[in-house]
Chain A
């Protein structure tokens, strides 16, 4: 029964040459195309740097006022504005203002990128079952593959810093927005679409004026989830040189600084709660505003 004790794996040599082969091919690829790829992401880098510069170099009272105004516009709730301000100022008071701004900027940009890339994919998915069949397993992989696995190739291709960090964050954070967009559009009632057809709407009109508005509350739930997932990647992204609240957490881990880790961890929680309340309140407002609800 000795054959049943050890699993009949491929030989050590076969496996090694397989790994070496894959690594070698990838290395060739980075040598050939790394620079081109890197240049491709230049606009993204500029966007990241600009957003960070805006948040970190503007005087802090202006930033606070600006954020408060944004939150008010989104939620129309003084309670949320007051809570958000209290959270921001408290985090700032504990000396984490700069890191907070860097993280906010990173989360903002990755959310924008995830939405710009994710919503069209979600729309496509909702229109074709075949696309849905192909995209769904891919989304599963993106959500479950340990991030370090793709951090290695990303660093080889793009180096360390904000852009590779952003890519890692977006890979992890984009699935909810795709899934929820798809779901929201698929949930729009058939009768309404028939009515739209009866009025002679083109496909584009149907999408823009019927499906997307009706799916909006669901899509907002996706946005909310995307932001939360992006925030949960902050510490991992800092392992490839993204600055912000993740870095001190990392420092705390290696040094066993309990308090430092706790402060920065709680700061991440604070902005997560802030983002969550704001985006949920905004979603609810949209829903109320349009008086729709699908159950």
Chain B
């Protein structure tokens, strides 16, 4: 989905990343992991720290719990989805990708799972990621008749484009993300061009976020692609437009997600599966840490609220993770055994 670019030609990534993914010398004595020994058993763990907020937050929660609760020596490795997963598949490093949005890289990912190189652990966001076209709440309040994408496309005047005079603007997803393709195809499928709209290239996530922030601060109209859970949606109230049609899996996966799709269909985005992916090597040596990674997951609401708190306090992912562990023990304690919970709590 959004930040999972489509390219399957990922071998070059693996080559590039190979240099960084030096083999960690994982302690081999992990099989002895017993209830009491688990603190020493886990060894060195590299967690992929993806570039968007919800993934950064989860990576930090994992880091705190794995290091305090299971005695792992955790290192966060920055990286975007495609390079990270490619490196995991080809090099077995990093060990864990806490929040992988499966949709667009389904094929290489599932092949790697079939080959036994990677394993799915828990679903990080059991609700699934939400994608679609959104408008600011102040516009939705002023024009309650706008409920669906079709409704919005009737009013180019409400979402004026700055550069194309007299036209409306649909803000596209950042360059190179797979949602750029689904948005382009949706733009075609809904006939937005004939309805007086242009598709605005936002360039990067920062550009897309900036355009939303600007429109919301100044109470201007805005229409475009976005996804949840995200910090922006915690900070600025946005309303997701109903697609007006159900999710058509065949059309979506067969055509709308492809750049050369000739007859894109009107289809809802459907909820994206968001899972934790671990390498085989890690799965074998992780011991009890694997139990944690196979159970933990949180709702979009929880994440949205945490991200909003982080935005308000200009907090880093680590601050956010600590805040979460301090304020919502009732949630995270269901993910771990009581002994682990005690150790984690003691570390806060």
Chain A positions near chain B (C-beta within 8 angstroms): 16, 19-20, 23, 27, 30-31, 34-35, 38, 45, 49, 148, 151-152, 155-157, 159-162, 238-243, 247, 250-258
Contact (Cβ within 8 A) A240 B206 = yes
Q: List 13 A-B contacts (CB under 8 A).
A: A31-B217, A152-B206, A155-B206, A160-B202, A160-B207, A160-B211, A239-B207, A240-B204, A241-B211, A254-B82, A254-B174, A254-B176, A255-B6
Counting chain A CB atoms within 10 Å of each CB, the highest count among B3, B201, B203, B215 belongs to: B203
Contacts of B217 in A (CB 8 A): 27, 30-31, 34, 156
Shortest distance between the CB of B163 and any CB in chain A (Å): 5
B32 contacts A by Cβ under 8 Å:
no
- B314 partner residues in chain A, CB cutoff 8 A: 16, 19-20, 23
Given contacts A31-B218, A255-B5, contact A162 B163 (CB under 8 A): yes
Kindly state the separation between the CA atoms of A63 and B125 in the bound complex, as whole angstroms: 53
Interface size class of B (residues with CB under 8 A): 35 or more
Ranked 9 nearest A-B pairs via Cβ:
A254-B176, A155-B210, A251-B176, A255-B7, A255-B5, A239-B204, A256-B13, A250-B175, A240-B207
> Which of A45, A247, A258 is within 8 Å of B162, CB to CB?
A45
Report whether A161 and B206 are in contact in the complex, using a CB–CB cutoff of 8 Å: no
Question: Complex: how many Å from CA A30 to CA B211?
Answer: 13
- Inter-chain contacts of B208 with A (CB < 8 A): 160
Given the contacts A253-B176, A255-B6, A256-B13, A241 and B203 also touching, CB distance less than 8 Å: yes
In the bound assembly, the distance between CA atoms of A285 and B337 in angstroms comes to 80
Q: Tell me if B12 counts as interface (CB < 8 A to partner A).
A: yes
Inter-chain contacts of B211 with A (CB < 8 A): 155, 159-160, 241
Which residues of chain A come closer than 8 Å to B313, judged between CB atoms?
16
Given the known inter-chain contacts A238-B175, A255-B6, A256-B86, please indicate yes or no for A151 contacting B218, CB distance below 8 A.
no
Q: Report B60-101 CB contacts with A as 1/0, cut-off 8 Å.
A: 000000000000000000001011001000000000000000
Contact in complex: B163, A34 (CB < 8 Å): no
How distant is the Cα of A161 from the Cα of B202 in the complex, in angstroms?
8
**Bound CA span A240–B211, Å:** 9
- What mask results when residues 185 to 218 of chain B are scored 1 for a CB within 8 Å of chain A, else 0? 0000000000000001111101110110111011
Q: Is the CB of A252 within 8 A of B176?
A: yes
Contact A256-B9, Cβ < 8 Å, known A239-B203, A250-B175: yes
- Bound CA span A253–B203, Å: 12
- Distance A161 CA – B162 CA, assembled complex (angstroms): 8
Which residues of B119-175 are within 8 A (CB) of A?
A: 162-163, 174-175
Q: Beyond A159-B210, A239-B204, list 13 extra A-B contacts (CB 8 Å).
A: A30-B218, A34-B218, A45-B163, A151-B210, A155-B206, A159-B215, A160-B202, A161-B200, A162-B163, A241-B202, A250-B204, A254-B174, A256-B16
Judge whether B269 is part of the interface by a CB distance below 8 angstroms: no
User: Could you give, for residues 304-348 of chain B, a 1 whenever the CB lies within 8 Å of some chain A CB and a 0 otherwise?
Assistant: 000000000110000000000000000000000000000000000
The residues of A that contact B112 with a CB separation of less than 8 Å are none
Contact residues, B204-246 vs A (CB, 8 A): 204, 206-208, 210-211, 213-215, 217-218
- Check if B12 sits within 8 Å of A258, measured CB to CB: yes
> Given A148-B206, A159-B214, A240-B207: A49 and B163 within 8 A (CB)?
yes
Given A16-B313, A30-B217, residue A240 in contact with residue B163 (CB < 8 A): no
* Contact A156–B162 (Cβ < 8 Å): no
CB-defined contacts of B113 to chain A, threshold 8 Å: none
With A and B bound together, what is the CA distance between A19 and B315 in angstroms? 11
* Cα(A252)–Cα(B13), bound, Å: 11
CA distance A238 to B255 in the complex (A): 27
Tell me if B10 counts as interface (CB < 8 A to partner A): yes
B294 to chain A, nearest CB (A): 30
Inside 8 A of B200's CB, which chain A residues have their CB?
160-161, 241
Closest to B172 in A: A241
Q: Are A152 and B204 in contact (CB under 8 A)?
A: no
B162 touches A254 (CB 8 A): no
Chain A hits for B83, CB < 8 A? 256
Contact indicator B206/A239 (Cβ below 8 Å)? yes
- Of the residues B82, B203, B213, contact of A156 by C-beta under 8 Å: B213
Q: Is the CB of A254 within 8 A of B202?
A: no
Answer yes or no: B282 CB below 8 A from chain A CBs.
no
Quick check: is B292 within 8 A (CB to CB) of the other chain? no
* A35 surroundings in chain B (CB, below 8 A): 218
**Contact for A254 among B12, B16, B175, B201, CB less than 8 A:** B175
Q: Are A254 and B177 in contact (CB under 8 A)?
A: yes
Bound complex: CA of A242 vs CA of B201, how far in Å?
8
Chain B residues within 8 Å of A155, by CB: 206-207, 210-211, 213-214
Beta-carbon nearest neighbor of B208 in chain A: A160
Closest residue of A by beta carbon distance from B165: A49
**Are the CB atoms of B10 and A256 closer together than 8 Å?**
yes
- A residues in contact with B174, CB < 8 Å: 254
- B206 contacts which chain A residues (CB < 8 A)? 148, 151-152, 155, 239-240
